[in-house]
Structure 1
Amino acid sequence: MIRSRAGQAEGHRAQRAPWSRSDCARVVSPAGAAALAVGALFLAGLGIANLYPLSLALTLGLLGALADRRGLATGFALEPVLIGGGAVLLWAGLRTVRSAVRPRATGPSGGSGESGG
């Protein structure tokens, strides 16, 4: 059975998703400008740049308070525990990202539908 291009187009329109590629392009096209993208990256960096020094200052303050109350040896003993906890959290986060990105096998790689046997 041969279908004309018009028939294919009509069938395509009937099965059209609620959004199309052209709709997405209209939304994303303003962000395509390099200057706007660099400006947005700069603003995001300004917002995130304060987190590292703030978290470092809070951690050192807590370790200093612990060393003042319990002794210097306790403060230094807790430091490797905190580093290990951070490493475990980093490992768990990377593992979660890898499992979300990894494609799942759906069947034989031949694609012909035949089982290899």
Structure 2
Amino acid sequence: MLKRLIYLACLLAFIAVSSLAQQTKRAMTPADILRVANVGDAQISPDGNWVVYTVSTVEADGTRSAIWIARVVSDTSQTALDAARPAARRNAATQLLSSGWNATNPRWSPDSKRIA
């Protein structure tokens, strides 16, 4: 009898929580879609250590695109500088240009040292 009561209480709690979660959902609006950042045009460096990509957002006066760079996570050995920094910071993406620029179509130089 006690098992049934506990089972019933758990079932009712699950139903109550799931109904609350459904009440908070709403349909996506055009304004929601405009707030989504679009990531694209990813280019892996020839040496395979980096990826550069664009992030486009809609602003009041049009679309803005920024170029970001991130280190490709791999099992290769770390340098002394890398070991001193936390892993999350070492592999974090970095915006290459200030927000005033509108840059697209990044391309790597053959030696992986420059982005055009």
TM-score normalised to structure 1 length: 0.27
Bigger helix fraction = 1
Structure 1 or 2, whichever has the larger Rg, is 1
TM-score (norm. length: structure 2): 0.27
